Amino acid sequence: MAKATQKQALGRGLSALLKDPANDIKSVQDKNADKVIGNIVELELEAIEINPFQPRTNFNEETLRELASSIKELGVIQPITVRKLDFNKYQLVSGERRFRASKLIGLQTIPAYIRIANDQESLEMALVENIQRQDLDPIEIALSYQRLIDEIQLTQEQMSERVGKKRSTIANYLRLLKLDPIIQTGMRDGFLSMGHGRAIINIEDQSHQLDIYEKILSDKLSVRDTEALVKNYHNKGETKSPEKTELPKFIKNGVKEFSEYFGQKINVKVSKNGKGTISIPFHSEEDFNRIKKLVQSAK
């Protein structure tokens, strides 16, 4: 307990050092930089801004409240990491859940490691650190890998070294981005696993991908069942559905807009006399309520 108190006191002492405008630390060469950079410092939450390079986009409210409750009881056990932007101004590199949870319970300060980094270094640090987390969904990880390729110009071999993953593992994640966006959303929402996604990606035609996706959801297919379904699809050459009435152009365009709005494939059936039906599938009570809200908001 004495060591913890001493550590906290040290953190508060460093906080005061950082608030001295006459000796503002801007680089690792500056006076007292060695006392601050890489050390744990108590920073005011108001002095920290969210990292625009953060690859995580979904924060589960329930788990965030659970973390907030834990922090309220035990404090922030693992410090966040920030980079110094300006005098008493910092930007998150990693630890956004701890940052958000601390704000949720009204904390004024949070323990933080301080680093000096430019935008590119900050992006790479944020992406690499977040990829190594256990609670990212497969699409978030795939998008992070893609950003390392697009924005940092890393090869898959270089990424393998940075994140400690096999090159084949990285390639498997990147392939998920070839899935239809509706299926990607389904993976992010937890309706199907990465194993399901890896099976579906072996089908190039995205309309057929969606057919299999809907069958997975409606029949609650396992990964093995999905692999067998995809294998059967290839063995038959492209399994074709019974011939359907050609949809008019205005319906095709409208269906696309409907599907994007509701976040899943909308089914439209049209008879020869021009009459038809529109059906919106849902996969759970939560999904039904989500669709209901979208319909109500459109009134």
Which residues are identified as catalytic? 96
Cα dist from 205 to 224, 232, 242, whole Å: 21, 15, 17
H or E stretch including 113? strand 109-115
Query: DSSP secondary structure string, 149-215?
Result: HHHS---HHHHHHHHT--HHHHHHHHHGGGS-HHHHHHHHTTSS-HHHHHHHTT---HHHHHHHHHH
Q: How many CA atoms lie within 13 A of 212 on its CB side?
A: 33
Give the C-alpha separation, 184 to 113, whole Å.
34
Non-local (6+) Cβ contacts of 17 within 8 A are 23, 32, 35, 36
Identify which of 16, 42, 24, 126 has the alpha carbon closest to the alpha carbon of residue 85. Answer: 24
Identify which of 42, 31, 43, 59 has the alpha carbon closest to the alpha carbon of residue 8. Answer: 42
Q: How many CA atoms lie within 13 A of 250 on its CB side?
A: 2
